[in-house]
Amino acid sequence: MDTREEFQRYMTAISGEEDRLSRHLSEDELIEYQQGRLEDLERDTIQSHLVQCDACIAVLKQVSDFFEPAREGEEAISDVHAPRDEDGRAR
């Protein structure tokens, strides 16, 4: 590890963000981020993580697809499409 990497790890550790950067973001965090409901510091921390984590970016894209309005020609999910049990109730 070079000096620069060591310094970055040190600064991350003392700022208390080590856990956030070393783990994947939760779905709740990504939803709050996508909906624009975060304070500046938390938003910036999540953005820093997203720059480095392709897995979290992929989940963020799924979250965005779910919450954004249907695109032209895209069919909305409804109870008609939901699997049903023997009594006809949606599962």
Any domain includes 87: no
Any domain includes 79: no
Any domain includes 83: no
Any domain includes 73: no
Number of residues in the chain? 91
Measured CA distances, 65 to 18, 36, 62, 76, 83 (Å):
29, 15, 5, 12, 21
pLDDT in tens, 47-65: 999 999 999 999 999 998 8
Supply the mean pLDDT for the chain.
78
Better-predicted residue by pLDDT, 83 or 25: 25
Any domain includes 85: no
Any domain includes 56: yes
Any domain includes 61: yes
Residue 33: pLDDT above 50? yes
Domain that holds residue 18: 3-68
With 0.85 as the threshold, say if the pTM is over it: no
Helices (H), 1-91: 3-15, 18-22, 27-34, 40-52, 54-67
Domain count, the chain: 1
Any domain includes 53: yes
